[in-house]
Amino acid sequence: MLDKTYPYYLAGKPVAANTDLEVFDKYSGKRATRVAFADATAVRKAIAAAHKAAPAMAAFPHDARRDVLEHCVARFTQRHEELALALCIEAGKPIKDARGEVTRLIDTFRIAAGEATCLGGEVIDMEISKRTRGYRGMAKRVPIGPCAFITPFNFPLNLVAHKVAPAIAAGCPFVLKPAAKTPVGALIIGAVLAETDLPKGAFSILPCSNDDAGLLVEDARIKLLSFTGGLVGWDLKARAGKKKVVLELGGNAACIVDQDPGVDLDALVERIVFGAYYQSGQSCIGVQRIFVHADVHVELRRKLKAAVAKLKMGDPRLDTTFVGPMIDEDSAERVESWISAARKGGAKLLAGGERKGNMLPATLLENVPHDADLYRKEAFGPVAGMEAFDDFDDALARVNDSDFGLQAGVFTGRLSHAMRAWDRLEVGGVVIGDVPSFRVDNMPYGGVKDSGIGREGVRYAIEDMTELRLLVIRDP
């Protein structure tokens, strides 16, 4: 069970300011806990504290940053089941998946601990002409300064980790706004950070309204804004002024199954089912569009249809549950309406069922119209559509026929096709032999087009959170 109440963290200290934010069990619908909800005054204080802490964080020794991160690894490991249960309750994530996300939280902090003492720099050969003989150049990485982080509901631990852990490794103070629907995991992370020797004011974790979070976007003392969420991110970028902005905004990821997929069809089905319906499809890189070569389409359709129909939907606390609740009933109603519209436009229902509240069964369609919302937009629910193709280049073109470009998966046994996909697909990452839903926490992760700008992955986030400072020395 969750604690009855949780404080927020302002300038590194727990503040039980109120219990205004109710957090609900996404499966039962019952209130699970209450959380302190920050107001504009608290957000301003957090920004001021981060600004004041910037020199101390920059001076905080690299090995001390590593020690903080290693402490987090140890404490998250000790609190593994507590974190998983909190995630299961507040996000409705099936317990097996919740435990997996806690493991990724730990991995991300562990990677950051390794990077904290390896920030490095470079030596620059400046003797490029007679004029510059006798000059030496060196550059080191220094913290960019106070950072603002805004995270969504679907990965309340790991998406927080991908912002917080690199910030500590880089020496940047930060203010984090977690999603109001799922704040508990971030606040547990805050409780662990409060046990460490981070400089005073180095972090604040504040559930707050979107309006009050606007202060994080617009305040000039914030030097970097990292936002993960919906297309509203582009509006935030427009309001952010001169600060650096990193956006992770989602997608409608596609998966190609070539004439020779390169893997057994049963194994392929298992991965597509995972990619499309993991945590009720509420993943930016969830499989939404499946393009299958005509030679294997009929057989794959049969296997996929049977596999999707067998997925167990229910209580996320049960190990046997694969599809849990969506984050709220409005989201489930939206996806249901998109499915209905696609069917009216000619799509064929292969597997699915009736929605009950925020519980939407795993749904598989065939031949979704290319002008339908279910094809063009991010569904963010347990639904995927499949269709046949005859020519591999045509399949690549269909993947690119999207406003998004986060990741794509390609099952092919032909090296030339794998390389052609890497060359031509307009996405941030191409995954060969697996679904686009694959992510490792040290890889450069991010998209193009409406999927955002910048890359996450600990080392790449640290690069965004630091700047190169040049030293030039003239030999006497």
Mean pLDDT of 152-180: 98
Q: What pLDDT shows up at residue 254? A: 98
Helix ranges (DSSP H) in 350-443? 373-376, 392-400, 415-424
Average pLDDT for 82-87: 98
Of the pLDDT bands very low, low, confident and very high (cuts 50, 70, 90), residue 1 is confident
* Section 136-144 average pLDDT: 97
- Residue 120: the pLDDT is 85
Annotated catalytic residue within 255, 284, 387, 463? 284
Predicted local confidence at residue 403, as pLDDT: 98
Which one of the listed residues 90, 101, 115, 248 is annotated catalytic?
248
C-alpha of 195 from chain center: 26
Cα dihedral angle (451, 375, 271, 108), rounded to 10 degrees? 20
DSSP single-letter state for residue 285:
T
Report pLDDT digits (tens) over 336-377.
Answer: 999 999 999 999 999 999 999 999 999 999 999 999 999 999
- In the structure encoding, which two tokens stand for residue 109, read together? 């902090």
Q: Quote the pLDDT of residue 476.
A: 83
Q: Which residues have a Cβ under 8 Å from the Cβ of 377 and sit 6 or more positions away?
A: 252, 338
Q: Is there a contact between 46 and 19 (Cβ–Cβ < 8 Å)?
A: no
pLDDT band at 164 (very low <50, low <70, confident <90, very high): very high
Q: How much is the pLDDT for 359?
A: 98
User: Can you give the pLDDT at residue 116?
Assistant: 98
- Alpha-carbon span 414 to 437, nearest angstrom: 21
Q: Active-site residue 88, yes or no?
A: no
pLDDT(49) > 90: yes
Annotate 30-56 with DSSP letters as a single string: SEEEEE--B-HHHHHHHHHHHHHHHHH
- Answer yes or no: is pLDDT of 382 > 90: yes
- Note if the pTM is more than 0.75: yes
How many Å apart are CA 251 and CA 470, to the nearest integer?
38
Work out the mean pLDDT of the chain and round it to a whole number: 97
pLDDT at position 29 is 97
pLDDT digits (tens, 9 = 90+) for 259-313: 999 999 999 999 999 999 999 999 999 999 999 999 999 999 999 999 999 999 9
Give catalytic status of residue 122 as yes or no.
Answer: no
pLDDT of residue 326: 98
Per-residue pLDDT, 9 = 98
